[in-house]
């Protein structure tokens, strides 16, 4: 850490230049003897990244920011708060601490929080920031796994956030492709706690993760504003009952929640042509893959086996977006032109032969407006266009 960055005049400069193009600052250079231009830009860029993602840090004076990659890899305050609400106890150890957002929120529910971070500078930055945030958290600059092995303490919870191994190319779909390698370490971790909380990438295959682990109790699929941000897996030593899957889409208006057990079977599902209302599952629900169960749980119809849209005559509260169906027509330009002369709408495709680019070209459509146009395939394998408007709940 360069403590000169925390001087009042440097902090004032950073705060007054949050909207300044960094290329202009780079050209002008640093006005401070003991702070380089690059250090100033790092602080500016990282602070700006915190404005929406980590407002508690952004709004606290004299926070020291690490490189932007550490901000990008951290949980948001929204998802950290969601995780922290799932568990409680006296002691928890975060063995992959990073910038410390999760540990900050765990401290609201635990008497003692230990934050382990192998990068000494990042550990020092996090420890300093906790003081600014008025949090008493024990920061250990060490490999969390190694610290845990030598610790004599038995914790109420262990938390970890595995990251992709450097030798693995492309997207990661298995826990064994990450560090720490949780499946290999699991027995050792259960010697130090009976409860383990794991945050993983939303790209991870849920079934594969469950099969790699043992004693899984719950899996939470967490989306924010309809974008899946992370998967949360809870393990409890010796647990042998049904695994529960929870989907949540956190928005400013509400939390859209849907839960089910892993082996829960859908009753007979029924198909229908579009009725008065159309329902589009949120992305967390999509990630869960429980498409048939949705229909039976809400007592609504599917449009077809592989078109994961739902319909009913009576409006229901649904974990996703709801639309009023104005027209249902074949995939035909003349028909669309008759119904929608301005040829403008928000295009969505589900189980459809053409992509959006091709649809726009064939149908001469432009984006925008109040109409939502769904292109899909019905239960008779016929392509359709649904012209809809979003339902506004009172």
Res 166 pLDDT > 80: no
One domain, residues 137 and 204: yes
Q: Is residue 266 part of a domain?
A: no
Entry pTM: 0.93
Coil, strand or helix: which one is 232? strand
How far from 315 is each of 224, 291, 392, CA to CA, in Å? 24, 19, 11
Q: Distance (Å, rounded) from C-alpha 224 to C-alpha 230?
A: 9
Average pLDDT of the chain, as a whole number: 94
Residues 6 or more apart in contact with residue 270 via CB below 8 angstroms: 295, 301, 302
State whether 197 and 57 are in the same domain. Answer: no
Other beta carbons less than 10 A from residue 52's beta carbon: 11
Gap between the Cα atoms of 17 and 20, Å rounded: 5
Q: Which of 2-6, 118-122, 167-171, 231-235 has the lowest mean pLDDT?
A: 167-171
Q: Please indicate, yes or no, whether residues 59 and 80 belong to a single structural domain of this protein.
A: no
Query: Residue 268's pLDDT is what?
Result: 83
Both 135 and 245 in a single domain? yes
Residue 394 has pLDDT above 60, yes or no: no
Whole-number pLDDT of residue 305: 92
Q: Is residue 157 part of a domain?
A: yes
Instruction: Kindly report, residue by residue over 314-357, the tens digit of the pLDDT.
Output: 999 999 999 999 999 999 999 999 999 999 999 999 999 999 99
Residue 168 has pLDDT above 60, yes or no: no
Our count of domains for the chain comes to 3
pLDDT of residue 165: 67
* Residue 9 maps to a domain: yes
The reply to whether 86 and 129 lie within a common domain is yes
Longest distance between any two alpha carbons in the chain, whole Å: 75
Residues of the chain with pLDDT > 70, as a percent, come to 97
Do residues 232 and 115 share a domain? Answer: yes
Mark which of 22, 52, 70 sits at the end of a domain. 70
- pLDDT of 196 strictly over 90: yes
Please check whether residues 62 and 80 belong to one and the same domain: no
Q: What is the pLDDT of residue 392?
A: 80
Contact between 276 and 327 under an 8 Å Cβ cutoff? The reply is no
Claim to verify: residue 110 and residue 239 sit in the same structural domain: yes
Q: Read out DSSP for 318-357? A: -SEEEEEEEEEEES-HHHHHHH-TT-B-EEEEES-SS-HH
C-alpha distances out from residue 361 to 343, 344, 350, 364, 370, Å: 11, 12, 18, 5, 20
Asked whether residue 64 falls in the same domain as residue 80, the answer is no
Write out pLDDT tens, residues 351-387.
999 999 999 999 999 999 999 999 999 999 999 999 9
Is it the case that residue 108 has pLDDT exceeding 90? yes
Element (H, E) at 187: helix 182-189
Burial status of residue 311 (CB atoms within 10 A of its CB: 0-12, 13-18, 19 or more): buried
Beta strands in the chain (DSSP E): 89-94, 110-116, 138-140, 157-160, 163-164, 178-179, 195-200, 216-224, 227-236, 244-250, 255-261, 277-281, 301-302, 310-312, 320-330, 346-350, 371-377, 383-390
**Are 91 and 193 found together in one domain?**
yes
pLDDT for 218: 98
Res 266: pLDDT:
81
Evaluate whether residue 269 is within a structural domain.
no
Look up the domain containing 326 and give its range.
Answer: 277-390
> How far is the C-alpha of 283 from the C-alpha of 273, rounded, in Å?
23
Q: Is residue 308 part of a domain?
A: yes
Query: Is the pLDDT confidence value at 167 over 70?
Result: no
pLDDT of 178 reads: 87
Average pLDDT for residues 116-135, to the nearest whole number?
A: 97
| pLDDT at residue 174, as a whole number | 82
Please provide residue 393's backbone torsions phi and psi, each rounded to the nearest 5 degrees: -80, 145
Instruction: Say yes or no: 146 and 111 in one domain.
Output: yes
Closest CA to 320 of 273, 351, 278, 259: 278
Do 247 and 313 lie in a common domain?
Answer: no
CATH number, domain containing residue 197: 3.40.50.150
Burial of 364 (0-12, 13-18, 19+ CB in 10 A): exposed
Rounded to 5 degrees, φ, ψ at 234 are -110, 130
CA-nearest of 7, 57, 3 to 31 is 7
CA distances from 266 to 242, 296, 301, 320, 326 (A): 16, 6, 13, 19, 30
Q: How many CA atoms lie within 13 A of 358 on its CB side?
A: 7
Q: Is residue 35 part of a domain?
A: yes
Query: Token digits for 272?
Result: 């229908």
Choose the final residue of a domain: 203, 227, 261: 261
Q: Is residue 270 part of a domain?
A: no
pLDDT computed for residue 267 by the predictor: 77
| Model confidence at 104: pLDDT above 70 | yes
pLDDT at site 195: 98
Q: Look at residues 19, 53, 70 and tell me which one is the last residue of a structural domain.
A: 70
Q: What is the pLDDT of residue 393?
A: 62
CA–CA separation, 189 vs 114, rounded Å? 15
Question: What's the average model confidence in pLDDT over 201-218?
Answer: 93
Helix 37-53 crosses helix 8-16 at what angle (to 10 degrees)? Answer: 60
Q: Give the integer Cα–Cα distance in Å for 285 and 281.
A: 6
Is 245 within the bounds of a domain? yes
Q: How high is the pLDDT of residue 366?
A: 94
């Amino acid at each position: 850490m360069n403590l000169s960055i925390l001087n009042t005049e440097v902090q004032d400069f950073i705060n007054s230049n949050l909207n300044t193009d960094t290329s202009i600052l780079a050209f002008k250079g640093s006005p401070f003897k003991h702070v380089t231009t690059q250090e100033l830009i790092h602080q500016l860029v990282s602070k700006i990244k915190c404005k929406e993602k980590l407002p508690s840090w952004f709004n606290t004076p004299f926070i020291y920011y690490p490189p932007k990659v550490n901000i990008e890899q951290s949980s948001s305050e929204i998802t950290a708060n969601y995780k922290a609400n799932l568990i409680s106890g006296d002691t928890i150890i975060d063995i992959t601490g990073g910038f410390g957002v999760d540990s900050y929120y765990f401290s609201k529910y635990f008497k003692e929080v230990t934050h382990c971070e192998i990068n000494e500078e990042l550990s020092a930055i996090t420890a300093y920031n906790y003081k600014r945030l008025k949090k008493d958290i024990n920061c250990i600059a060490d490999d969390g796994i190694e610290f845990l092995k030598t610790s004599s303490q038995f914790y109420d919870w262990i938390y970890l956030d595995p990251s992709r191994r450097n030798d693995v190319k492309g997207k990661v779909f298995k826990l064994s492709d990450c560090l720490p390698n949780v499946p290999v370490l699991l027995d050792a971790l259960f010697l130090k706690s009976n409860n383990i909380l794991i945050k993983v990438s939303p790209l991870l295959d849920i079934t594969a993760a469950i099969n790699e682990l043992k004693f899984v109790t719950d899996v939470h699929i967490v989306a924010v504003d309809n974008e899946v941000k992370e998967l949360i897996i809870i393990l409890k030593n010796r647990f042998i009952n049904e695994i529960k899957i929870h989907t949540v889409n956190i928005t400013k208006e509400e939390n859209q929640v849907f839960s089910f057990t892993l082996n829960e079977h859908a009753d007979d599902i029924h198909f229908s042509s579009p009725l008065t209302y159309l329902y589009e599952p949120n992305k967390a629900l999509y990630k869960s893959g429980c498409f048939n169960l949705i229909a039976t749980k809400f007592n609504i119809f599917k449009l077809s086996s592989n078109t994961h849209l739902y319909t009913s005559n009576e409006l229901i509260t649904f974990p996703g977006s709801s639309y009023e169906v104005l027209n249902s027509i074949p995939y035909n330009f003349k028909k669309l032109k008759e119904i929608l002369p301005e040829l403008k709408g928000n295009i969505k495709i589900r189980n459809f032969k053409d992509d959006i680019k091709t649809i726009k070209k064939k149908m001469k459509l432009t984006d925008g407006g109040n109409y939502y146009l769904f292109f899909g395939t019905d239960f008779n394998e016929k392509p359709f266009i649904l012209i809809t408007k979003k339902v506004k709940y009172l």
